[in-house]
Structure 1
Amino acid sequence: MPFAHTVGGVGWRFEDLKDLLAKASPHRSGDDLAGIAARSAEERMAARCALADLPLAALLAEPVVPYEVDEVTRLVVDGHDRAAFAPIAHLTVGAFREWLLDDATGPDDLARAARGITPEMAAAVSKLMRNQDLVVAARKCRVVTRFRDTIGLPGRLSVRLQPNHPTDDPRGVAAAVLDGLLLGAGDAVIGVNPAGDALPDLLALWRLLDRLVQGLAIPTQTCVLAHVTAQLRAIEAGAPVDLVFQSIAGTEAANRSFGVDLALLREAHAAARSLRRGTVGDQVMYFETGQGSALSANAHHGVDQQTLEARAYGVARAFDPLLVNSVVGFIGPEYLADGRQIVRAGLEDHFCGKLLGLPLGVDVCYTNHADADGDDTDVLLTMLGVAGVAYVMGVPGADDVMLGYQSTSFHDALYLRSVLGLRRAPEFEAWLARMELVDDAGMPIPPAAGSRLLAAAREVAAS
Structure 2
Amino acid sequence: MGYHADIEGTRHGFPSLKALLAKASPERTGDALAGLAADGPLERIAAQRALADVALTDFLDDVLEVEGDAVTALIHAQHDAAAFAPVRSMTVGAFRDWLLDPATTGAQLSALAPGLTPEMVAAVSKIMRAQDLIAVAAKVEVVTRFRSTIGLRGRLSTRNQPNHPTDDSRGIALSALDGLLMGAGDAVIGVNPATDSLPDYIRICAVLDAIRSQLEVPTQSCCLGHVTTALAAMEAGAPVDLVFQSVAGSEKANAGFGVTLGILDEAADAVASLGRAPKGANLMYFETGQGAALSADAHHGMDQQTMEARAYAVARRYRPLLVNTVVGFIGPEYLADGKQITRAGLEDHFCGKLLGLPMGVDVCYTNHSWADQEDMDILLTALAAAGVNFVITVPGADDIMLNYQSLSFHDAGFIRRTLGRPPAPEFADWMARHGIGEPGVELPSLADALGRLRLPAA
Which residue type is aligned with residue 210 of structure 2? R
Instruction: Say if 1:276 and 1:282, in contact at 8 Å, map to a contact too.
Output: no
Q: Equivalent residue for 2:409? A: 410
How far does residue 177 in structure 1 lie from its aligned partner after superposition? 0.6
User: Partner of 2:336: helix, strand, or coil?
Assistant: coil
How far does residue 52 in structure 1 lie from its aligned partner after superposition? 0.3
Q: Equivalent residue for 1:7? A: 7
Q: Equivalent residue for 2:223? A: 224
Q: Equivalent residue for 1:29? A: 29
How far, CA to CA, are the matches of 1:270 and 1:184 in structure 2? 32
* 2:203 paired with 1:210: no
Instruction: Say if 2:52 and 2:93, in contact at 8 Å, map to a contact too.
Output: yes
How far does residue 456 in structure 1 lie from its aligned partner after superposition? 6.8
Which residue type is aligned with residue 236 of structure 2? A
How far does residue 279 in structure 1 lie from its aligned partner after superposition? 3.4
How far, CA to CA, are the matches of 2:150 and 2:445 in structure 1? 26
Instruction: Say if 2:248 and 2:288, in contact at 8 Å, map to a contact too.
Output: yes
Instruction: Say if 2:30 and 2:304, in contact at 8 Å, map to a contact too.
Output: yes
Pair 1:86–1:462, CA change in 2 (3 A): closer
* 2:179 paired with 1:180: yes
Q: How many aligned residue pairs are there?
A: 456
Instruction: Say if 2:328 and 2:366, in contact at 8 Å, map to a contact too.
Output: yes
Q: Equivalent residue for 1:313? A: 312
Pair 1:274–1:462, CA change in 2 (3 A): closer
Instruction: Say if 1:394 and 1:409, in contact at 8 Å, map to a contact too.
Output: yes
How far, CA to CA, are the matches of 2:138 and 2:263 in structure 1? 33
How far, CA to CA, are the matches of 1:116 and 1:76 in structure 2? 10
Instruction: Say if 1:343 and 1:380, in contact at 8 Å, map to a contact too.
Output: yes
How far does residue 217 in structure 1 lie from its aligned partner after superposition? 1.1
Gaps of 5+ in 1: 438-443
Which residue type is aligned with residue 295 of structure 2? S
Instruction: Say if 1:57 and 1:89, in contact at 8 Å, map to a contact too.
Output: yes
Q: Equivalent residue for 1:115? A: 114
* 2:45 paired with 1:52: no
User: Partner of 1:302: helix, strand, or coil?
Assistant: coil
Instruction: Say if 2:147 and 2:220, in contact at 8 Å, map to a contact too.
Output: yes
User: Partner of 2:104: helix, strand, or coil?
Assistant: coil
* 2:441 paired with 1:448: yes
How far, CA to CA, are the matches of 1:388 and 1:126 in structure 2? 17
Gaps of 5+ in 2: none
How far does residue 63 in structure 1 lie from its aligned partner after superposition? 2.1
Instruction: Say if 2:174 and 2:446, in contact at 8 Å, map to a contact too.
Output: no
Deviations 1:16-60 (A, max 9, x none): 011000000000000000001000111111111110000001012
Pair 1:447–1:41, CA change in 2 (3 A): same
How far, CA to CA, are the matches of 2:163 and 2:445 in structure 1? 25
Which residue type is aligned with residue 347 of structure 1? L
Which residue type is aligned with residue 366 of structure 1? Y
How far does residue 432 in structure 1 lie from its aligned partner after superposition? 1.0
How far, CA to CA, are the matches of 2:56 and 2:213 in structure 1? 48
Q: Equivalent residue for 2:270? A: 271
User: Partner of 1:461: helix, strand, or coil?
Assistant: coil
Which residue type is aligned with residue 391 of structure 1? F
* 2:136 paired with 1:128: no
Q: Equivalent residue for 1:247? A: 246
How far, CA to CA, are the matches of 1:454 and 1:272 in structure 2? 34
Pair 1:241–1:162, CA change in 2 (3 A): same
How far does residue 454 in structure 1 lie from its aligned partner after superposition? 7.8
Instruction: Say if 2:162 and 2:191, in contact at 8 Å, map to a contact too.
Output: yes
How far does residue 436 in structure 1 lie from its aligned partner after superposition? 1.8
How far does residue 450 in structure 1 lie from its aligned partner after superposition? 2.1
Q: Equivalent residue for 1:401? A: 400
How far, CA to CA, are the matches of 2:84 and 2:275 in structure 1? 34
Q: Equivalent residue for 1:429? A: 428
How far, CA to CA, are the matches of 2:61 and 2:314 in structure 1? 19
Pair 1:86–1:227, CA change in 2 (3 A): same
Instruction: Say if 1:212 and 1:457, in contact at 8 Å, map to a contact too.
Output: no
TM-score in terms of structure 1 length: 0.96
Q: Equivalent residue for 1:326? A: 325
Which residue type is aligned with residue 65 of structure 1? E
How far, CA to CA, are the matches of 2:454 and 2:441 in structure 1? 21
The more displaced of 296-305 and 452-461 is 452-461
Which residue type is aligned with residue 174 of structure 1? A
Aligned-residue Cα RMSD (Å) equals 1.4
The more displaced of 380-389 and 273-282 is 273-282
User: Partner of 2:294: helix, strand, or coil?
Assistant: helix
Q: Equivalent residue for 1:339? A: 338
Which residue type is aligned with residue 120 of structure 2? M
How far, CA to CA, are the matches of 1:17 and 1:462 in structure 2? 55
% identity of equivalent residues: 61
User: Partner of 2:195: helix, strand, or coil?
Assistant: coil
Deviations 1:212-253 (A, max 9, x none): 111111110000000000000000010000000000000110
User: Partner of 1:333: helix, strand, or coil?
Assistant: coil
User: Partner of 1:451: helix, strand, or coil?
Assistant: coil
How far does residue 15 in structure 1 lie from its aligned partner after superposition? 1.2
